């Protein structure tokens, strides 16, 4: 699925959303590496350079206190952990 990830250097920047007049209104802060869906991204009135577009499986995403994050870092998966997952599935 397509997500927009906040670049880490823009952590704690003010987040603006569009009002009825399309002027930005302060609405909280950005969190580094937080993921936004395309529909959420359209509602933001923020510089697109603060985000990077990523393709992440829904299974590799978790939510913490209302913010969405990637559970694994950019495709770097630990084969030892994946091996344990397969063993657990086989023993059930």
Q: Strand 51-55 to strand 2-6: parallel, antiparallel, or no bridges (unpaired)? A: antiparallel
- Per the CB < 8 A criterion, the answer to whether 68 and 41 are in contact is no
Query: Which tens digits make up the pLDDT trace of 49-60?
Result: 999 999 999 889
* HSE of 63, CA atoms in CB hemisphere, 13 A: 6
pTM exceeds 0.85, yes or no:
no
CA 20 to chain centre: 26
Query: Which tens digits make up the pLDDT trace of 19-54?
Result: 666 667 788 899 999 999 999 998 887 888 999 999
CA dist list (Å): 71 to 15, 33, 57: 23, 11, 10
């Amino acid at each position: 699925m397509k997500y927009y990830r906040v670049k880490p250097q823009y952590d704690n920047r003010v987040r603006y959303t569009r009002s009825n007049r399309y002027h930005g209104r302060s609405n909280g802060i950005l969190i580094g590496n937080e993921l936004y869906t395309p529909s959420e991204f359209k509602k933001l009135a923020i510089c697109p350079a603060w985000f990077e577009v990523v393709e992440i499986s829904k299974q590799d995403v978790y939510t913490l206190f209302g913010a969405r994050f990637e559970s694994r870092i950019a495709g770097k998966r630990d084969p030892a952990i994946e091996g344990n997952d397969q063993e657990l599935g086989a023993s059930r």
